[in-house]
Amino acid sequence: MPEIRPFKGLRYDPETAGDMGSIICPPYDIIPPTIQQELYGSSEYNAVRLELPKEDDPYGAAAGRLVQWMQDGVLMQDDKPALYPYYQTYTDPEGNTYTRKGFFCALRLHEFSEKKVLPHERTLSGPKKDRLNLFKRTQANISSIFGLYADEKLQADKAIEEFAVTHDPEVDAVFRGVRNRLWKMTDPDVIATVQQVLLDRQVYIADGHHRYETGVNYRNLRSEENHSHTGDEPYNFILIYLANIFDEGLIIFPLHRMVHSLGRFSPEGLIDTLSTHFEVKPLGGRGELKHYLESESSSHVYGVVTSEGIWGIKLKDSPETLLGDSVPAPLLQLSVVVLHELILHRVLGITPEAMCSQTNLVYEEDDRQVFDAVEQGGIQVGFVVKATTVQQVLDISGEGEVMPQKSTYFYPKIMTGMVMHKL
């Protein structure tokens, strides 16, 4: 693993800023304008005002606030370097409760080619330009990337858990049903244990690919400008939340696909075409579809939801036979890859460019919303998919491949405002 370090976190002072439940916010890329406005109204210090300001000059607004809030005591920088254990307790759509456990640290930045940090998704130039402007103006990591590591013996987890159960959290805040707890851990022996356990392990990026690549670009810019560059400056590191893939609270939700605005679309015609390569089974409703997907061991099974009916479909042939060399072999195990290439592209005629820009495609993590959207008439067809597994993420990253966008949905998102990292 790249070097991880404790750092002097920049945090809200609840005595000055107020209730942390009204201050933390999701990462920028899942905040639509309606939620942005709602967050603005929740507190004058809400982290969205740093993460995704709505002013005409958002980067200048964020930089100005950061300085002002530090002067006013709204934000404070810890006086000792620390690791910050972060636990999120949540309930899934089926009513099961989990606690995902991990910690914030500063991670040394490396190019992907060095194979110390591995991506699993493609990135786009627009978001990277946006985040680079924010990095430059604020000289801070406002929000964290989300990384995974593999420690089957849970050695680091146990050391952190022993600390957490014997100390009160610095933050204990509920945001939209998710409980967020943060501790500050400065004990050098515990920190050394965590560093030693993770020393020879790779980091797999679960979420925050754009921010990670931006961190590398920002480091390169700063190092070129700094004639005294040593490699130990804070800009050589990035704020990351690390979780163990063997943590029982680590869950990936599926991201379902909803198609709209296609010309000459026919539910009956779609099902007839799909029957060439798929076994097609009519189903009675959401409950039957859920049971169908859970009972099938194959990754290449889907639910098809239209105004005319619901079907379960299962690929008849191997994906290698149908897609050949058009898709790298490691990616063929993914449900969404076959869906995108075989159904969305070849059958429905949606180009890869249209998928990237979401011209005809909407993503939704809750399958109930898929049924509702089809019933309301705004969506022509919904495809309910199985979740990508953590092992698939590791396998594909390890092979040097990247998944299509929206292949994974790690829930819950890492909240912005729990702790920040000055560069």
Regarding whether 32 and 46 lie in a shared domain, the answer is yes
- Whether 373 and 364 have beta carbons less than 8 Å apart is answered as yes
pLDDT on residue 405: 72
pLDDT on residue 200: 84
Regarding whether 142 and 18 lie in a shared domain, the answer is yes
Regarding whether 277 and 236 lie in a shared domain, the answer is no
pLDDT on residue 390: 83
**CA-based diameter of the chain, in Å?**
68
Q: How many CB atoms lie within 10 A of CB 224?
A: 9
Regarding whether 148 and 90 lie in a shared domain, the answer is yes
Regarding whether 151 and 117 lie in a shared domain, the answer is yes
Classify residue 393: in a domain, yes or no.
no
What DSSP letter does each residue of 55-113 carry, written as one string? SSSHHHHHHHHHHHHHHHTSEEE-SS-BBEEEEEEEE-TTS-EEEEEEEEEEEE---GG
pLDDT on residue 3: 93
Residue 46: give the domain boundaries: 4-251+411-422
What is the pTM (predicted TM-score) of this model? 0.88
Classify residue 391: in a domain, yes or no.
no
Residue 309's DSSP bridge partners are 306
Classify residue 418: in a domain, yes or no.
yes
Give every residue of the chain whose pLDDT is below 70, as ranges: none
pLDDT tens digits along 100-156: 999 999 999 999 999 899 887 777 788 899 999 999 999 999 999 999 999 999 999
- Whether 377 and 12 have beta carbons less than 8 Å apart is answered as no
Regarding whether 140 and 159 lie in a shared domain, the answer is yes
pLDDT tens digits along 394-415: 888 778 777 777 888 889 999 9
Q: What angle do CA 273, 340, 362 make, to 5 degrees?
A: 105
Regarding whether 103 and 28 lie in a shared domain, the answer is yes
Q: Six-digit token pair at 281?
A: 């089974």
Q: Per DSSP, which regions of 276-359 are E strands?
A: 278-283, 301-306, 309-315
Regarding whether 352 and 417 lie in a shared domain, the answer is no
Domains identified in the chain, total number: 2
CB burial readout 105-115, b (16+ within 10 A) else e:
bbbbbbebeee
Burial of 83 by CB count in 10 Å (0-12 exposed, 13-18 middle, 19+ buried)? Answer: buried
pLDDT on residue 168: 97
Look up the CATH number of the domain holding residue 270: 3.30.1760
Regarding whether 181 and 147 lie in a shared domain, the answer is yes
pLDDT on residue 409: 86
- Whether 48 and 41 have beta carbons less than 8 Å apart is answered as no
Query: Locate tokens 């869950």: which residue?
Result: 251
Helix, strand, or coil here: 34? helix
Regarding whether 417 and 363 lie in a shared domain, the answer is no
